[in-house]
Amino acid sequence: MREKFLDILLDLTHNENISVRNNAIRIAKSLHEKEEFKQPIEVNEFFKFKKKRNSIEIFLATCVEVFKTFNSTTTT
C-alpha cells in the first residue's frame, strides 16, 4: 500500500496543474527527509528518469531517420 501511495504521489510531482505539482513536491520532499522513505523515493525517481531518457533517445533516433529520409528525397 505504501509503495502505491508513493508511486501516486511521485506521479503528481509531474502534474500539469502547478498547485497539485507544488503540493506533491512539498510532501515528497518532507517524506524524503525520513529515512524509511528516502530509498524508495530515490529508486522510483531513478527509474522514471531512466524511462524518460530512453523515450528521448528513441524520439531523437526517429527524428534522425526522418531527417535522413527527407534529405535523401529532396536531393534526388
Q: Which amino acid is at 41?
A: I
Three-class SS of residue 59?
helix
Supply the pLDDT for residue 3: 81
Supply the pLDDT for residue 69: 81
Burial of 42 (0-12, 13-18, 19+ CB in 10 A): exposed
d(CA 26, CA 46): 19
CA dist list (Å): 31 to 8, 25, 57: 14, 10, 32
Supply the pLDDT for residue 20: 95
Query: What are the boundaries of each domain within the chain?
Result: 2-75
Supply the pLDDT for residue 26: 94
From first to last of the 76 residues of the chain, give the pLDDT tens digit: 778 888 899 889 889 999 999 999 999 999 989 988 888 888 877 777 777 777 888 888 888 888 888 877 766 5
